[in-house]
Copies of this chain bind each other. A is one copy, B any other.
Amino acid sequence: MFDDPQLLSAQVGVVLDVLGTFVFAVSGGLVAARARLDVFGFVVLALAAGCAGGVVRDLLIGDTPPAAITDWRYAAACVVAGLGVFALGQQSVRVTDGLRVVDAVGLGIFAVAGTVKSLEAGLGDAASIGLGVLTAIGGGIVRDLLSGTVPVVLRADIYAVAAAAGAFALVLAIHLGQPMWLAAIGGAAVTTTLRLAAIHFAWQAPRQRETSP
């Protein structure tokens, strides 16, 4: 069905990108609900959370203007997500763990989407993994900064590391000869599973030992 690996890779990239954008935009809407913003605040935070990671990645690759600006599907996904969460009413904040789960899924999708796009742009493995992580954490950072809270990447114990693990798994799978779509699904699953496990089991990363005065 997909005979051209180049084309397939590009298609996987765009589908992942729009999907990750939508999921992170939902997280932006949930933060807006918690902060009791008006309907425009929902849309602004959805756009920021959904598009910031991809825009930063495209800027760093030098792929300007970024896809999130020129391709209407990104903004549309964000507006739909923001208005959708708004329409749910205040019950949306009652889903206590909803934000964290949505954020974990978006983290996985964007980690692989960022890595795939960077590889396509001709960057090396390490740089592509780095840009995948940046794509994955960028939206959440901007969302949290705008709403006046310390970004989740600094508050959570296993966050950027989960994104890096999924991006690494993707690159490894490609080197082992797996098709792009399988490597992408696998990588996203690694990140999201690791992040959800860290939340569920309350994994603690090491902290500095106290030293006697």
* Residues of A bordering B, CB below 8 Å: 33, 35-41, 43-45, 55, 59-62, 64-66, 69-70, 72, 75, 86, 88-92, 94, 121, 123-124, 126-127, 130-131, 141, 145-151, 153-154, 157-161, 204-211, 213
Most interface-central of A124, A146, A147, A208 (chain B CB within 10 A): A208
Q: Give the residue of B39, B55, B123, B154 whose beta carbon is less than 8 angstroms from that of A41.
A: B154
Inter-subunit contact A72/B205 (CB<8 Å): no
How many copies altogether? 3
Asked if A89 and B130 sit within 8 Å, CB to CB, the answer is: no
- Report chain B residues within 8 Å CB of A94: 213
Q: Are A66 and B60 in contact (CB under 8 A)?
A: yes
From known contacts A41-B154, A90-B210, A141-B146, infer whether A69 and B205 are also in contact, taking CB-CB under 8 Å: no
Residues of B within 8 A of A65 (CB): 60-62, 121, 123, 127, 131
* A208 neighbours in B (Cβ, 8 Å): 33, 36, 86, 88-90, 92
Contact partner of A146 (CB less than 8 A), chosen from B43, B127, B154, is B154
Q: How far is the CA of A73 from the CA of B137 in the complex (A)?
A: 22
Q: Told that A59-B60, A69-B130, A147-B154 touch, could you supply 20 new A-B pairs with CB distance under 8 A?
A: A37-B207, A38-B157, A38-B204, A38-B205, A40-B157, A40-B158, A40-B160, A41-B154, A45-B154, A61-B65, A62-B65, A65-B121, A65-B127, A69-B127, A70-B127, A88-B208, A141-B146, A145-B146, A146-B150, A148-B150
